[in-house]
Amino acid sequence: MIMEPDHCPLCYKDKLVDYVLGDKRILKCSECGVVFLNFDLFKKKDEDYYENNIFYAINAEVPTLVETMRASAKFYLKIVKKYVSPPARLTDVGANCGVLVAEAASQGFSALGLEKNKFLIDKSKKAGLLVMDKDLSDEAIEKADIITAMHVLEHLAEPRAFVKSAYKKLKPGGVLAISVPNLDSFLARKDGLSWRYVALEHLFYFSEKVLWEVLREEGFEILGSSQRTLKLNS
């Protein structure tokens, strides 16, 4: 589906209204409820934006941030293991420097990471991790028992297309685990413009209701969620 200037980029309906988060003017679809950047700002980031962005590589060298990622990875895997156990195949999309891949491998999973940033891929490979510069939809990517996408969906120009790809790339009974900033969270409503997730690179702002609806429409069953916005779907 090609996005048109007067159509929602998630449900493709033409029921758009103005929506203000802080002083950044964005739009809301009154049909599906998703909030997204105004079309003046809503531009697909070309792959080079992520491939060569040194910002992500710099963050991967900050010990406190890496430790936070490691703690999050352990948290996500603890919940995932309620549904799928090692040595299941796990594919982590947006693998960053491979922290979740490393943690999954250490727990016995067959773990693969997909990442676009060349600096992060190099760092992961030097650590002996299997991280590749490929899209989930690539034919070379095998079907997985688990697909994780932690803080990825809000960056994508076509999040529904990603959900469709994930459904196709999961084995029967497989699990998709997604983490996104929650637009309906206390901090989002309290902080407004100061909310830490308000950023031009975040194209979409999901509420739990909107995200769940998209997942259900694409064939997933909601298995559970957490206060840290993890969605588990099979």
d(CA 37, CA 126) in angstroms, rounded, equals: 37
Torsion of CA 49, 52, 55, 57, to 10 degrees: 140
Per-residue pLDDT in tens (0 to 9) along the chain, 234 residues: 444 457 888 998 888 887 766 555 678 898 998 988 776 665 545 556 777 788 888 888 899 999 999 999 999 999 999 999 999 999 999 999 999 999 999 999 999 999 999 999 999 999 999 999 999 999 999 999 999 999 999 988 889 999 999 999 999 999 999 998 877 665 656 555 555 556 667 888 888 899 999 999 999 999 988 755 445 565
In degrees, rounded to 5, the angle at the alpha carbon of residue 138 between the alpha carbons of residues 8 and 115 is 80
Do 113 and 134 touch, CB atoms closer than 8 A? Answer: no
What superfamily would CATH give domain 46-180+207-233?
Vaccinia Virus protein VP39 (3.40.50.150)
d(CA 18, CA 26) in angstroms, rounded, equals: 6
Averaged pLDDT score across all residues of the chain: 85
Structural domain spans, the chain: 46-180+207-233
pLDDT of the residue at 5: 57
Phi first, then psi: what are they for 34, rounded to 5°?
Answer: -75, 150
Q: Rounded to the nearest 10 degrees, what angle do helices 159-169 and 208-217 cross at?
A: 50
The residues with which 17 forms a beta bridge, in sequence order, are: 28
d(CA 100, CA 74) in angstroms, rounded, equals: 8
User: Looking at this protein, which amino acid is placed at residue 226?
Assistant: S
Residue 147 C-alpha from the chain's centroid = 10
Looking up tokens 């943690």 gives 103
